[in-house]
Amino acid sequence: MVLIAPDMQNALRLHDEISQFTDQMVMNLADWETLPYDSFSPHQDIISSRLSTLYQLPSMQRGVLIVPVNTLMQRVCPHSFLHGHALVMKKGQRLSRDALRTQLDSAGYRHVDQVMEHGEYATRGALLDLFPMGSELPYRLDFFDDEIDSLRVFDVDHSQRTLEEVEAINLLPAHEFPTDKAAIELFRSQWRDTFEVKRDPEHIYQQVSKGTLPAGIEYWQPLFFSEPLPPLFSYFPANTLLVNTGDLENSAERFQADTLARFENRGIDPMRPLLPPQSLWLRVDELFSELKNWPRVQLKTEHLPTKAANANLGFQKLPDLARSHFLPRNHRFVENSNIQAQQKAPLDALRKFLESFDGPVVFSVESEGRREALGELLARIKIAPQRIMRLDEASDRGRYLMIGAAEHGFVDTVRNLALICESDLLGERVARRRQDSRRAINPDTLIRNLAELHIGQPVVHLEHGVGRYAGMTTLEAGGITGEYLMLTYANDAKLYVPVSPPATSPHTRHCHHSHCI
C-alpha cells in the first residue's frame, strides 16, 4: 500500500500513527529536504534512507510506503542502476582490500581518516571501516591477505569500539546516480549537448570533469544516465494499492508552480545553468496519467452516501470532549479559568461519555511525563486507567492509558473501542516533542572535525540556513570568554556559533546557541 500525503510533515505524522496500529513494515520515502534547484545537497543520511527504501520497494509484498506528493512527482534513478551497483560482502569472501577501495571509490564513497556518517570509509592496516548507504550501522572489515576474515559492527559515535560480528553486509552506491569514469564521461558529453561549457574552475562542468561533485549536483542527476529518469511508480510492486489522504491535485499544482518559479528565478546564473523541471519531476498531467494505472482509494473524514464505489469504515469521530479544559503548563495540567467559567464541572463531557460508552476506552499521550500528568487529571474524576503498551491489549469495559503517536482519537464501532488523545481533551493540538531520528543531534559529533572545514566552505545552520565558514574567533559574552565559529551571510551579516567546551579534541565540541550581528 502506498499512502500519499500532502507534504512531508504529514507523511512523518502518518508514519508515527500507523506504526502503532500494525506489525507490518511502515516506511517513508523522504524527500531531499532541499528546495527545487537548491545549491546544496541533501544530507547523506537522507540519501541513505532513500536508497534503502528504493532498493527494498520492488520486492515488498506487504507493508505501507508513505510518500509526500512532491516526492511522488520526483523522478528517480533507474531500478537497474541500484541493483546493478549493489554489492554483498560476506565473511570468508576472497576480496583484496585494494580492490574493495577501488569499488568504493567508483561507487562514490569518500575516503576519510575516521568514519562518522553514511558514504564514508577509512583504512588502517588490515582494517577497513565502512558506513554503507542504506545501513543503520557501520561495519569494520578485517582482512587476512585477500580474504575478509571478519565483519563486525562498531560504535561510530563515541569509542569507535568493535561490537558484534555479522556474516554479511549489503553495500549500496553512495549517490542516486553513478560516479564512475564512464558516468563522468557521459555527464560531460550530455552537458556539452545541453549547455555552454565555461573554463572557470568553479563551473559545474569543470568540477565534475575533475571528479569533484559540487553541492547541489543532484539537480543535474539526469546527465549521469543515458535514458530519462523514470517515475517512482516504476518501483511499485504489481499488487500496489494507492491511498490518497488529501487534496492531491491542489498539492501537486502548487508544487509544480513553485518549482517553475524557482527554475525561472535561478536559471539565469551561467555558472549553474538548470535542467528544465520536466527532466526532474513529473508534470501534474503526467502524475495523474500514472495514477490511472493503479487501483486507488480516496480517504474522506465525512460519512459518504451509499454508492457502489463508496465504503464507510467502522470508525466515528469522538463527541466534543473539550468543553471544559485543563491546559498543560510545565508538565502539569492547570485550569484555564476563561474556559472553565463556561462549565463548573471539570471534564464533565468526558465523564458523560464514559458513562454512556460500554466498551474499552484507551487514553493516549505522547510521553511518560504526559502520561503521569494525564493520570493525575483523570484521578480528579476518579478514573484510574490501567497502563498498556499497545491498543490491542485493551479489553472488556476497562479504562487504559498508553504512550502513542496519534493526535486525534476515534470510536471503533466494529471493536466497540474508543481511543481518546490529549488534544481531544485539551481542545488544542499538543505540541509534539518527538523528533525525526535524522534530526537528532549527538553533541559529541555535531562538529566532528573543524580541520575538515576551509574558509568559504558552505555550512548549513539548522535555524539560519546556509552560510559560509569564515574561521574561528574568540569572543567574550556575559563575562565568559569562549571560542566561536564564524559564518557569513548576505549583506555582510555574521553568525557566531559558540563551540563549547573550548577544548582540545574535535570530538568534544558542541553548539548551544548562536548570536547574529
Q: In this predicted structure, what is the pLDDT of residue 158?
A: 65
Closest by CA to 396, choosing from 414, 383, 415, 382, is: 415
Q: Residue 399 is placed in which grid cell?
A: 479504562
Q: In this predicted structure, what is the pLDDT of residue 433?
A: 45
Same-domain status, 157 and 183: no
- Is 15 inside a domain boundary? yes
> Across the strands, what pairs with 326?
335
Same-domain status, 182 and 292: yes
Q: Provide, rounded to the nearest whole percent, the portion of the chain with pLDDT above 90.
A: 49
Domain count of the chain?
Answer: 4
* Integer Cα distance of 146 and 92 in angstroms: 10
Same-domain status, 224 and 238: yes
Same-domain status, 183 and 288: yes
Closest by CA to 90, choosing from 150, 162, 154, 155, is: 150
Q: Does the pLDDT of residue 17 top 80, yes or no?
A: yes
Closest by CA to 374, choosing from 417, 424, 418, is: 424
Q: Does the pLDDT of residue 243 top 60, yes or no?
A: yes
Q: Provide, rounded to the nearest whole percent, the portion of the chain with pLDDT above 70.
A: 85
- Is 388 inside a domain boundary? yes
**292 half-sphere exposure, CB direction, 13 A CA radius:** 6
Q: 380: Cβ–Cβ under 8 A, 6 or more apart, which residues?
A: 346, 347
Q: Indicate the residue among 298, 328, 345 that finishes a domain.
A: 298
Q: Are strands 87-90 and 110-111 parallel, antiparallel or unpaired?
A: unpaired
Same-domain status, 142 and 93: yes
> Domain holding 466: CATH number?
2.40.10.170
Q: pLDDT digit string (tens) for 296-353?
A: 998 887 787 888 888 888 888 899 887 544 444 343 444 443 333 334 455 888 989 9
- Is 395 inside a domain boundary? yes
* Integer Cα distance of 45 and 448 in angstroms: 15
> Across the strands, what pairs with 465?
461
Q: What is 344-358 written as a DSSP string? A: SSTTHHHHHHHHH--
- Is 149 inside a domain boundary? yes
What is the average pLDDT value for the chain, to the nearest integer? 84
For residue 316, give the amino acid letter.
Q
Closest by CA to 175, choosing from 255, 240, 94, 81, is: 81
- In three state form, how does the secondary structure of 384-452 look? CCEECCCHHHCCCCCEEEEECCCCCCEEECCCCEEEEEHHHHHCCCCCCCCCCHHHCCCCCCCCCCHHH
* Integer Cα distance of 413 and 391 in angstroms: 15
* Integer Cα distance of 294 and 291 in angstroms: 6
Q: Does the pLDDT of residue 454 top 90, yes or no?
A: no
- Domain hosting 22: range is 2-81+178-298
Q: In this predicted structure, what is the pLDDT of residue 428?
A: 57
Q: Indicate the residue among 112, 137, 171 that finishes a domain.
A: 171
62 vs 397, more confident: 62
* Integer Cα distance of 71 and 7 in angstroms: 9
For residue 232, give the amino acid letter.
L
**H helical segments located in 75-216:** 79-85, 97-106, 181-194, 204-209
Same-domain status, 219 and 337: no
Query: Average pLDDT for residues 355-378, to the nearest whole number?
Result: 89
Q: pLDDT digit string (tens) for 68-83?
A: 999 999 999 999 999 8
Same-domain status, 339 and 447: no
How far is the CA of 425 from the CAs of 8, 205, 404, in angstroms?
27, 58, 15
Q: In this predicted structure, what is the pLDDT of residue 147?
A: 92
Q: Does the pLDDT of residue 427 top 70, yes or no?
A: no
Same-domain status, 208 and 273: yes
Q: Residue 188, class by beta-carbon neighbours within 10 Å (0-12 exposed, 13-18 middle, 19+ buried)? A: middle
Query: Sorting pLDDT into bands at 50, 70 and 90, what band is 463?
Result: low
Query: Average pLDDT for residues 482-497, to the nearest whole number?
Result: 82
Q: Does the pLDDT of residue 381 top 70, yes or no?
A: yes
Q: Indicate the residue among 135, 154, 171 that finishes a domain.
A: 171
Q: In this predicted structure, what is the pLDDT of residue 96?
A: 87
Q: Which of 137-141, 186-190, 338-342, 385-389 has the highest mean pLDDT?
A: 186-190
Same-domain status, 136 and 188: no
Same-domain status, 280 and 370: no
- Is 417 inside a domain boundary? yes
Cβ–Cβ under 8 Å, residues 245 and 10: yes
> Domain holding 410: CATH number?
3.40.50.11140
For residue 501, is the peptide bond before it cis, meaning its omega torsion is within 30 degrees of 0? Answer: yes
Q: In this predicted structure, what is the pLDDT of residue 500?
A: 52
Q: Does the pLDDT of residue 469 top 50, yes or no?
A: yes
Q: 31: Cβ–Cβ under 8 A, 6 or more apart, which residues?
A: 8, 68, 70, 71, 74
Q: pLDDT digit string (tens) for 279-295?
A: 999 999 999 999 999 99
How far is the CA of 450 from the CAs of 132, 472, 505, in angstroms?
24, 9, 10
Q: 479: Cβ–Cβ under 8 A, 6 or more apart, which residues?
A: none
Closest by CA to 340, choosing from 352, 355, 354, 323, is: 323
Same-domain status, 414 and 445: no
Q: Which of 60-74, 294-308, 429-443, 496-510 has the highest mean pLDDT?
A: 60-74
Query: Sorting pLDDT into bands at 50, 70 and 90, what band is 467?
Result: confident
Q: Does the pLDDT of residue 21 top 90, yes or no?
A: no
> Domain holding 144: CATH number?
3.30.2060.10
Closest by CA to 222, choosing from 248, 183, 253, 258, is: 183
> Domain holding 283: CATH number?
3.40.50.11180
Same-domain status, 182 and 76: yes
Q: Residue 137, class by beta-carbon neighbours within 10 Å (0-12 exposed, 13-18 middle, 19+ buried)? A: middle
Closest by CA to 131, choosing from 14, 215, 44, is: 44
Q: Does the pLDDT of residue 254 top 70, yes or no?
A: yes
> Across the strands, what pairs with 218?
none
Q: pLDDT digit string (tens) for 23-35?
A: 899 999 988 989 9
Q: pLDDT digit string (tens) for 326-335?
A: 444 343 444 4
481 vs 71, more confident: 71
159 vs 505, more confident: 159
155 vs 187, more confident: 187
- Is 60 inside a domain boundary? yes
- Is 431 inside a domain boundary? no
How far is the CA of 379 from the CAs of 186, 322, 346, 351, 385, in angstroms?
69, 17, 12, 12, 9
